[in-house]
């Protein structure tokens, strides 16, 4: 297990609208609490995205910001190839959409995605805004996932992607999967979701899942952390959505 971790924050100038870059701070804090040194590196639109960092985060943004980030990913073939080989990345909302095969923007134009996730997104005709709670479907996660969604996309999963969670409250992908509403998409080392929050501040289990992948161990091998306020926040947000924690 590595004792140093480098976290890349991709395009914070356009994908930082909803505070999702805070996910990198959560990962860094939980790593350092376990004696793992961390470096956070911001990668901007005019820079090549390095393909050899330990862990990456991408956030959400508006339509123009999303298009700029999608173009950036398409120009960074080495990075997207690394994701397909299993590099660990957390993607939120707009980033979920641009990592797919394609997404349709607000003008009805179909935009090519990075083709890292086997998903496609089209407009759903209205915005989904509010608390989102799901029952996790990612192996190793046991607690409900909680976040705040604000999107107008309906994301359909292809056979190579699996959902992050089954919707208990809210909309999520706004497209059924095997007969039920789900949120997010997981494929290889990529975990994507419509949950803002930042999502990792609300969901310590998910943060530790990503950390474990990045440092090369099982979640159970990470030292336990005693952070009652984090647990309290998680429970409060789940209850606020009318779901039993």
User: Taking residues 130-141, what's their average pLDDT?
Assistant: 95
* Percent of the chain predicted with pLDDT > 90: 86
Encode pLDDT of 136-190 as tens digits: 999 989 999 999 999 999 999 999 999 999 999 999 998 776 668 999 999 999 9
Exactly one of 93, 151, 177, 234 is catalytic; which is it?
93
CATH of segment(s) 4-240: 3.40.50.880
Distances (CA, A) of 147 to 18, 140, 171: 12, 19, 11
Q: Is 93 a catalytic residue?
A: yes
Phi, psi of 163 (to 5 degrees): -70, 155
- pLDDT at site 245: 64
Q: Is 151 a catalytic residue?
A: no
User: Taking residues 219-244, what's their average pLDDT?
Assistant: 91
Tell me the whole-structure pTM to 2 decimals: 0.95
- pLDDT at site 174: 81
Asked if the peptide bond before residue 198 counts as cis, ω within 30 degrees of 0, the response is yes
**Nearest partner of 73 among 11, 20, 155, judged by Cα:** 11
Encode pLDDT of 57-80 as tens digits: 999 998 889 999 999 999 999 999
74 known member of a binding site: no
Domain boundaries, the chain: 4-240
Exactly one of 72, 151, 177, 196 is catalytic; which is it?
196
């Amino acid at each position: 297990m590595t004792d140093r971790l480098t976290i890349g924050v991709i395009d914070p100038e356009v994908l930082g609208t909803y505070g999702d870059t805070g996910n990198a701070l959560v990962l860094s804090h939980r790593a350092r609490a376990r004696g793992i040194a961390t470096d956070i590196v911001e990668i901007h639109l005019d820079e090549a995205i390095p393909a050899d960092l330990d862990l990456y985060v991408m956030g959400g943004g508006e339509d123009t910001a999303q298009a700029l980030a999608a173009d950036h990913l398409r120009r960074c073939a080495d990075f997207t190839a690394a994701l397909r080989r299993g590099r660990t990345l957390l993607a939120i909302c707009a980033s979920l959409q641009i990592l797919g095969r394609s997404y349709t923007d607000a003008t009805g134009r179909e935009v090519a995605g990075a083709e890292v996730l086997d998903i496609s997104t089209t407009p759903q005709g209205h915005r989904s805004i509010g608390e989102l709670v799901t029952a996790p479907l990612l192996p190793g996660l046991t607690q409900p996932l909680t976040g705040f969604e604000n999107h107008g996309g309906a994301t359909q999963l292809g056979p190579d992607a699996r959902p992050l969670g089954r919707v208990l409250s809210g909309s999520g992908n706004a497209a059924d999967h095997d007969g039920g509403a789900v949120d997010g998409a997981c494929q290889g080392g990529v975990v994507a979701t419509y949950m803002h929050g930042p999502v990792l501040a609300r969901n310590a289990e998910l943060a530790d899942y990503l950390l474990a992948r990045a440092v090369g161990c099982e979640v159970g091998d990470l030292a336990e952390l005693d952070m009652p306020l984090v647990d309290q926040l998680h429970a409060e947000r789940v209850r606020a959505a009318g779901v039993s924690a």
